[in-house]
Structure 1
Amino acid sequence: MAILRLSRSRRLSIIIAISFTFFAIEIGVGFYTRSLALVADAFHYLNDLIGFIVALAAIKVSNKPGSTPASLAFGWQRSQLLGAFFNGVFLLALGVSIILQSVERFVSLEKVENPKLVLIVGCVGLTLNLISAFFIHAEHDHGPHGHHASDSENSQTSLTMEFQNVEAVHENHRHHNVASAVTKGHHDLGVMGVFLHVIGDAINNLGVIIAALVIWLAKYEGRFYADPGVSMGIGIFILLSAIPLVKNSGSILLESVPLGVKLDDVRHDLETIPGVDSIHELHAWRLNQNKAIATAHVVTTNSSLESFMDQAQRIRECLHAYGIHSVTLQPELPASSTGSGFEPLSANGNGNQGIRARDGSTSTCRIACRSACEPLTCCG
């Protein structure tokens, strides 16, 4: 089908056009008929519309190498994550606002005018959401570049073989379970998130349709409670979808440790590598949803740069098995070592950053801050 050959940005552009048109119609009809359920659904639609625009902007930027602002060379990769966080905060505020308005409507009931028009708009919204879901699902099945399942399977097989080779070299390490989890098939979380939002909108539209049918067909006076009842359900649904969004995006923005990774296990594995005396200043965090970064000071018993490069390769392989692919390593010599390969480094200040080696002894970081700087360091 021709629709399956459309690029990802073209599909998102079509979805944005559909969403904006329907939002304008739904918000206007909602205020005209005094249907709180319709207004609540319209604002939820607005939230999704903002998410689609952010996603499209990110695609446009990624397709233009060199367009990243110089002042955001590193943090620019978090732009979508930051948008998701504010998106979630907006959803939280919106959900609370809708719930409060629903409670007010229960106390002071208002009659919905022209429920037939509300029903029509709800049906149109449901149809448009199903169309949008088809667009997104087609992209999810065929990928943004039209790759077939065999390509994904071949890539998955290569990744599995790569991890098996790493495990063969690191037999006594603890990263085997993490590696097996990484190699499991996974979906594009960005596409899946958009798809779930569209499905959520479709559910809201069903609620609007049910409320309109009750108000239109029922004859008892209490039928008008269907409108604030549905809006209350929409508000709760928005809250339930916003809480994990804020939690997950906020956790990554706070530079949490990558999922499934325990720093104690990482330190244990690195310190079993031949020539590595101890590891300190070990940090690992998620830059965004897909990329993890690590830094570490490595106290090495080898004084030559060539020997350390061999250790560094083993360390990278080990961290690679944990799903960490961007690593910065700083070599240090033990305090008692002298050699010509690395320049001996003397600690500044009182050097209170202790390191416990494998033999239980405690050493001191060879590169420490001055005493006046210590409150500003991450490990103090």
Structure 2
Amino acid sequence: MAFSLSRKQRLTVAVIISSIFFMAELLVAFETRSLALLADSFHYINDMIGFAIALSAIHKLSERTRVPRRLSFGWKRASLIGAFFNGVFLLALGLSILLQSIERFVSVQTIQNAQHVFIMGCVGLGLNVLCVLVLHGEDSAQLQCTHSLTDDGDDCTRLATRPEAAPHAGHRHNLATTTADPQRPGRDLGMLGVMLHVAGDALNNLGVTVAALVIWKTESPARHYADPSVGIFIAVVILVTAVPLVRKSGEILLQSAPDNVDPDDVIHDLEKIPGVQSVHELRIWRLDQRETVASVHIMVEDEDICTFAEKAKTASECLHAYGIHTATIQPEVPPRLPSELPAAPPVSGTSGSSSTPAVSNSLKRSRGSCQLLCRGCQLGPDSVGGCR
């Protein structure tokens, strides 16, 4: 009878398996003086930390309690931060194991009861295969990008065939190389870190089993070098699996743009919108591995400021075609010389220079609202600084 486990239940099972096996493996490692087995047991500590971080992130995301106001995006980056520190722990652990293995080559130690090491390696290999099967189903079934163009409507593909697609003429997102699927569904980096742990452990246990078999079944004096050799192998596996995890999660934490989005292409498309003079202050970053956010300043003609809503809609469609579904678009108008500003009308009953109340009220407005509401600021060159 088929049954399914939630993501939280899968991680809970993995934590229980890792905890039990860690204690057993640690005891056997101290008994046999096997560095490979000891390194593998400490790797399990890091696995448990990774499982706990991922489980904690899921718990935070599933809580019904109100998110603190200071967390503008909620707990969306909790799993990402956990993945980053998980990778950092792996790097430190791999370096430590590597140094200890090199020391064992200088001062060789005899492995006692190699058959116990062999048994623990076989048991660990079986448990890791079980963990891979448990975690892989969740990773492939649920961890899909929530904002893919196939789900949200392939705007860039439809734009090329809609009659109202004229504002997008000449845009690079209409090219086949960018409209196929600019943001494909990706794996969750938190669960990716967990999967890397478990897959690395399976390889480690395989190496421990082979080394124990060599020490157990051969009589060569050099057989004891098999244990530190496997230790070096474990260290390399840990480092190789940890570096990509740290790099990918670190790039997102540094608010880098997605690999499949070229900011120059986005600027090119936005500047092709009719009525747009220039585009600057473009910021594209990933909130997490699923959601991309952007902000941009668009300079338009002064007389077109009231029709900016149409340009903003076209700009949003362009960003949407690149997989950017959350964006802040700020309008700007080019600066005007004082000689280009119309003279301020005099206030009735006073001279033309008595415009202090109007100036006082205008100062309360921001520059953006002044541009949108005043359309050129009829207050004269000395009224509101910068609103020209």
TM-score by length of 1: 0.81
**Ranges of 4+ aligned residues in structure 1 off by more than 6 Å:** 337-340
Counterpart Cα distance in 2 of 1:325 and 1:115? 58
Aligned 1:91-106 pairs, distance under 5 A: 91-106=90-105
Counterpart Cα distance in 2 of 1:94 and 1:62? 29
- Verify the 8 A CA contact 2:114 2:213 in the aligned structure 1: yes
1:323/1:105 Cα in 2 relative to 1: closer, same or farther (>3 Å)?
A: same
Counterpart Cα distance in 2 of 1:59 and 1:184? 23
2:209 partner letter:
I
- Verify the 8 A CA contact 2:193 2:245 in the aligned structure 1: no
Task: Tell me the equivalent position of 1:46.
Answer: 45
2:123 partner letter:
V
Aligned 1:110-259 pairs, distance under 5 A: 110-143=109-142, 157-159=150-152, 161-168=154-161, 169=165, 170-175=168-173, 176=175, 177-182=177-182, 184=184, 187=187, 190-259=190-259
Counterpart Cα distance in 1 of 2:371 and 2:68? 42
Task: Tell me the equivalent position of 1:352.
Answer: none
SS of the residue 1:70 aligns to: coil
After TM superposition, give the deviation of residue 157 of structure 1 in Å: 4.7
1:142/1:328 Cα in 2 relative to 1: closer, same or farther (>3 Å)?
A: closer
Counterpart Cα distance in 1 of 2:11 and 2:220? 44
Counterpart Cα distance in 2 of 1:37 and 1:345? 75
Counterpart Cα distance in 2 of 1:90 and 1:126? 22
After TM superposition, give the deviation of residue 69 of structure 1 in Å: 3.1
SS of the residue 1:181 aligns to: coil
- Verify the 8 A CA contact 1:303 1:341 in the aligned structure 2: no
2:201 partner letter:
D
After TM superposition, give the deviation of residue 68 of structure 1 in Å: 2.8
After superposition, give the CA deviation of every residue in 1:150-198 in whole Å (9 maximum; x if it has no partner). Answer: xx9xx87544543312344224111243332336565555545433432
Task: Tell me the equivalent position of 1:29.
Answer: 28
After TM superposition, give the deviation of residue 220 of structure 1 in Å: 1.2
Gaps of 5+ in 1: 347-365, 368-380
Aligned 1:50-89 pairs, distance under 5 A: 50-74=49-73, 76-89=75-88
1:191/1:283 Cα in 2 relative to 1: closer, same or farther (>3 Å)?
A: same
Counterpart Cα distance in 1 of 2:131 and 2:63? 26
Counterpart Cα distance in 2 of 1:264 and 1:157? 24
- Verify the 8 A CA contact 2:18 2:44 in the aligned structure 1: yes
TM-score by length of 2: 0.79
1:28 partner letter:
L
**Matched-pair identity in %:** 48
After TM superposition, give the deviation of residue 75 of structure 1 in Å: 6.8
Task: Tell me the equivalent position of 1:335.
Answer: 335
After TM superposition, give the deviation of residue 341 of structure 1 in Å: 4.3
1:130 partner letter:
V
2:240 partner letter:
L
Task: Tell me the equivalent position of 1:353.
Answer: none
| Matched residue count | 339
Counterpart Cα distance in 2 of 1:292 and 1:186? 12
After superposition, give the CA deviation of every residue in 1:334-377 in whole Å (9 maximum; x if it has no partner). Answer: 2238798444689xxxxxxxxxxxxxxxxxxx69xxxxxxxxxx
Gaps of 5+ in 2: 342-369, 378-385
After superposition, give the CA deviation of every residue in 1:236-260 in whole Å (9 maximum; x if it has no partner). Answer: 1111111111111111111112212
Counterpart Cα distance in 1 of 2:7 and 2:78? 19
SS of the residue 1:54 aligns to: helix
After TM superposition, give the deviation of residue 217 of structure 1 in Å: 0.7
Task: Tell me the equivalent position of 1:350.
Answer: none
After TM superposition, give the deviation of residue 34 of structure 1 in Å: 1.0
1:8 partner letter:
R
Counterpart Cα distance in 2 of 1:157 and 1:268? 24
Task: Tell me the equivalent position of 1:318.
Answer: 318
After TM superposition, give the deviation of residue 10 of structure 1 in Å: 1.1
After TM superposition, give the deviation of residue 104 of structure 1 in Å: 0.3
Counterpart Cα distance in 1 of 2:66 and 2:45? 28
Counterpart Cα distance in 2 of 1:345 and 1:329? 20
Task: Tell me the equivalent position of 2:348.
Answer: none
Give the RMSD, CA atoms, in angstroms: 2.7
- Verify the 8 A CA contact 2:87 2:242 in the aligned structure 1: yes
Counterpart Cα distance in 1 of 2:282 and 2:141? 40
Task: Tell me the equivalent position of 2:353.
Answer: none
